[in-house]
Structure 1
């Protein structure tokens, strides 16, 4: 068995290699914007195990086939388990799930809404309206970590349960929901172990929604989508990316069991002038259950399994699985090819593509640009109010971010301002405030001293039950006490003066409320949380679509003497080169400040241009005599941004 040298192999395939982008229909005058499909499941049944486990043995092979045949669309689902079903699922099914995770078919997460029980759990047992932050944190420790009786909810903290149990069985939870995570106290408790998890946003279906619920969501969706490039179902809040099921104009979540025609109708009702994210539930309990399995069990703990009349007929169940397969087939065979840029998105895709400046270091010039925008958009009403966030060149900072950045800049002032400041995890004020009776005027030295005292707290990165990085509701500056909004304005004004070379004798701020009244109204429409946490919207900001990670894939194992189709999945408009070698490429080199392919055998294939598609392909004839490893590496360029996808390692048997 012989192995060709890399250069000989390249010579053979370069002679006949061809490239092509996906064939697309003629572009209309206004091409519909992409629809990103997020596949997910909340498992929600630890009682009726035969029916529950059948979902995984039936749907997981669908996902495996999808990835094998349509890898260019990056298919992956997020299955969110909970402590009770992590405990009761059989070993064989758990192995299937973890194998699907390891193969890339699944991302695993946690959904805590259906843990035992709805009325007997650590949070439900609190008098939440008067509970302190510390009491909520103590209850959340049990809520997230303690074992509970499967039908009664009785706590046994000796053994792991809930999120801790799910993580022990399935690994890190990359998406978390069902815990009331809009609540800053609950979100903070989750941050102790899962600070980077994706959270769910607004749902179209909640029990007993407040009046004008969808109107409030629509207000936030418009606010957090300042340009047509923004996806209205995605935004940042409390340093977590949020994925909503609605933009307030309708219910845009869907179920695979409803079939392709229903999904097509749902997509037709989307605003296609801008990109959308559509959540599609697959492998849900409603495939077989006519009522909530957990609801029935918790109300009937002595006989918790669903009665026959609460189970669909076998014909209905079979149809629901067939409809799920039909939906997946329709997406990859019809919708995606005819809607350039549309694709599946995984949790990892969302975190990579929809970014923020969280954790970044900002230059003084960047902070100045954000600060000028903040001041320009501060309302001139009486009392005045800050804008919901600050923007600069398509980037966004929340009011908490702005406070932390400006405090850092002023705290570092000596004879000049610092050149950079790092962005931390500051969260919003927790108690109600009032505007000052008179516009506050302070001395610059007093303001610098107040910033210096606050800076080490806001820049703390250590999780604690009561976090240091909370923006205080009131700040004392010299002999004046000002609320957090007024303090932010004072810091902004002094920073601008110092950055522009001025030395003001005093700094004046308008008497200000903490939030724009329109934001307060919208929050009251979507929840009652503002009654307890009045400024939870001090840390909201839009999500920026910075671009999906480029990825190479093949749909079939390579064989000697056959033609290998290599897919590239990247952003619309990307251009790429491909090289192949029988030796693993070294780390990419830097040439004149840019990336380049590994030089060994890097005779690039003809350039691939994706145009309006998000996928394209190279066809590589593999010589019949070739045996051994084959490494593929691409160099992608889009709007001046260079990217090297992960090397694709193959073996020719």
Structure 2
């Protein structure tokens, strides 16, 4: 290489080094990368000091979200086919239902493949065991499981008619039972094997819900579990007992429209009042709502006067009811098929008769319909099913749904995962809607949440945590009302923050009272204070003391639940919220 070439070569290398230096400095600047020791505690892996917000003497709460409602157009409607089995005694008559209606579904699925017809059969523990014991002889369980494999059938548990009405642990509960007493009674009810004629546990496990799981391998819905005779409210104790066996249980039934309820004017009025509160927009309807941390399907949609719950009456009545749908809001409609009255005369329940006549529990001939009437019932059932199958095949706004479909309609990733901004809107809603009672529900500008949801989410948010799961509809409200109302008080923010750094729950349940400094607060007062403190932080200020106004301790829904027969059910009142369609 000549001297001139060597000089050119060295010059090029020098130029490249200069360019690399310039580009490297630009990259480090753009990337916020420093070659010097960092003063940032995160970069040094040191604890970050808490930011001290400027303190203010007074604070005006900003406006929160307001509900704006617009009727929908061509809203979808969904049909939930179900059966409550309710007969462990009249084997041939009862089991004939599964073969005959199962055959109808197979035929319909073949004729209308796009209908996606699905049937939920809810067994009692006693008849699940009976049908299993008889399976080697009849093959009925095998047939039902084959329908399940075809996607035509799923299974659930209906607790109300398990043996017997007079001999069940709930009946021994006092008028104001503790959570622990109620939990033990309901846990026993859904797990112990019972004498099918006289009731009472004959084995600690293997009955109730567990009998259905053993027979069919799944329980997709739990209904009919109540704290007393004719009171089908699970409360937090029942819901938690079920979740011990079914951690992902999200579906149940709501307020019935039959039996003693149908003739009780006070209960009917209270039901309408409750549904009015829980149907605030056209994205909600009175056919569904949340209660005791599960979505509930009512027997009917009372505000819209919709009821297709008896397909045994044929297609004509179903068509007449569905024709009233105006497309302005979606519904999930219970459609009962193959019930006990296919073969028993009206108002003659096989379980009522059997428990009252344990020496001869089968229905007497006088209580069994004539063959021609039984055949008529099956014919009308088939007509109704075929009508619905053709309807949903030709109308994109109508669909059959199974249990998971229903859960998916009312939940979404956005619903479960509450963001910081959404939580701020919830806190603002609570503060702005608080009169002399806490609000009945909580709103983030789009979705609806319960008081229990808000309490747990605010507790997490005040620690700077916004978990993606495990909060919404997982925490239960305070068990009972220990104090009807409270006067205006001031609390120290420092004392309150000390409380919030601890555990506010006992077995996932909000406590009834909390100690803040030398003062005792109700859970309602804690909810208000958390909402206020969260909004302060979001607005970038702090206060040394927080004033909690004079307030009733329970929302208005607490009194409505009393009228519905649920006495001192503060936990259930805190769980109530509208079921908003997410599509």
Q: TM-score, normalised by structure 1?
A: 0.72
**Deviation at residue 193 of structure 1 after TM alignment:** 0.9
Equivalences for residues 126-275 of structure 1 within 5 A: 126-157=172-203, 160-180=206-226, 182-184=233-235, 185-197=237-249, 198-207=251-260, 210-249=264-303, 250=305, 252-269=307-324, 272-275=327-330
SS at match of 1:544: coil
Check conservation: 2:431, 2:528, Cα contact below 8 A.
Answer: yes
Structure 2 CA distance for aligned equivalents of residues 358 and 404 of structure 1: 17
Q: How many residues align?
A: 495
Equivalences for residues 215-364 of structure 1 within 5 A: 215-249=269-303, 250=305, 252-269=307-324, 272-290=327-345, 291-333=348-390, 335-336=391-392, 339-355=395-411, 360-364=416-420
Structure 2 CA distance for aligned equivalents of residues 286 and 120 of structure 1: 25
**Deviation at residue 120 of structure 1 after TM alignment:** 1.4
Check conservation: 1:389, 1:540, Cα contact below 8 A.
Answer: yes
SS at match of 1:37: strand
Q: Which runs of 5+ in 2 are unaligned?
A: 1-70, 227-231
**Deviation at residue 452 of structure 1 after TM alignment:** 1.0
Among 439, 447, 452, which residue is 2:496 paired with? 447
Among 514, 536, 556, which residue is 1:475 paired with? 514
Among 523, 536, 540, which residue is 2:561 paired with? 523
Query: 1:538 matched to which residue of 2?
Result: 574
Structure 2 CA distance for aligned equivalents of residues 31 and 74 of structure 1: 24
Deviation digits for residues 111-156 of structure 1 (CA, Å, limit 9, x no counterpart): 11111111112223x1342433222222223211111222111421
Check conservation: 1:400, 1:426, Cα contact below 8 A.
Answer: yes
Q: Cα–Cα, structure 1 residues 369 and 317, in superposed 2: closer, same or farther, change >3 Å?
A: same
Check conservation: 1:129, 1:532, Cα contact below 8 A.
Answer: no
Check conservation: 2:423, 2:457, Cα contact below 8 A.
Answer: yes
SS at match of 2:102: helix
Query: 1:509 matched to which residue of 2?
Result: 548
Check conservation: 1:235, 1:542, Cα contact below 8 A.
Answer: yes
CA RMSD of aligned residues (A): 2.4
**Deviation at residue 33 of structure 1 after TM alignment:** 3.8
Query: 1:84 matched to which residue of 2?
Result: 126
Structure 2 CA distance for aligned equivalents of residues 149 and 393 of structure 1: 52
SS at match of 1:241: strand
Does residue 62 in structure 1 map to residue 117 in structure 2?
Answer: no
Structure 1 CA distance for aligned equivalents of residues 337 and 268 of structure 2: 25
SS at match of 1:369: helix
Structure 1 CA distance for aligned equivalents of residues 544 and 530 of structure 2: 14
Check conservation: 2:558, 2:568, Cα contact below 8 A.
Answer: no
SS at match of 2:434: coil
**Deviation at residue 274 of structure 1 after TM alignment:** 2.0
SS at match of 1:61: helix
SS at match of 2:510: coil
Query: 2:59 matched to which residue of 1?
Result: none
Structure 2 CA distance for aligned equivalents of residues 244 and 362 of structure 1: 27
SS at match of 2:362: coil
Query: 1:650 matched to which residue of 2?
Result: none
Query: 1:460 matched to which residue of 2?
Result: none
Query: 1:366 matched to which residue of 2?
Result: 422
Check conservation: 2:290, 2:296, Cα contact below 8 A.
Answer: yes
**Deviation at residue 398 of structure 1 after TM alignment:** 1.0
Does residue 52 in structure 1 map to residue 88 in structure 2?
Answer: no
Dislocated runs of 4+, deviation >6 Å: 356-359
SS at match of 1:115: coil
Q: Is the deviation greater in 491-500 or in 181-190?
A: 181-190
Check conservation: 2:125, 2:209, Cα contact below 8 A.
Answer: yes
Structure 2 CA distance for aligned equivalents of residues 359 and 336 of structure 1: 28
Structure 1 CA distance for aligned equivalents of residues 466 and 214 of structure 2: 44
Check conservation: 1:144, 1:162, Cα contact below 8 A.
Answer: yes
SS at match of 1:168: helix
Deviation digits for residues 337-359 of structure 1 (CA, Å, limit 9, x no counterpart): 56441111111110111116799
Deviation digits for residues 232-272 of structure 1 (CA, Å, limit 9, x no counterpart): 21111222111111233447242221001121223245565
**Deviation at residue 200 of structure 1 after TM alignment:** 0.5
SS at match of 2:197: coil
Greater Rg by CA: 2
SS at match of 1:298: helix
Query: 2:538 matched to which residue of 1?
Result: 499
Check conservation: 1:361, 1:423, Cα contact below 8 A.
Answer: no
Q: TM-score, normalised by structure 2?
A: 0.80
Q: Cα–Cα, structure 1 residues 229 and 421, in superposed 2: closer, same or farther, change >3 Å?
A: closer
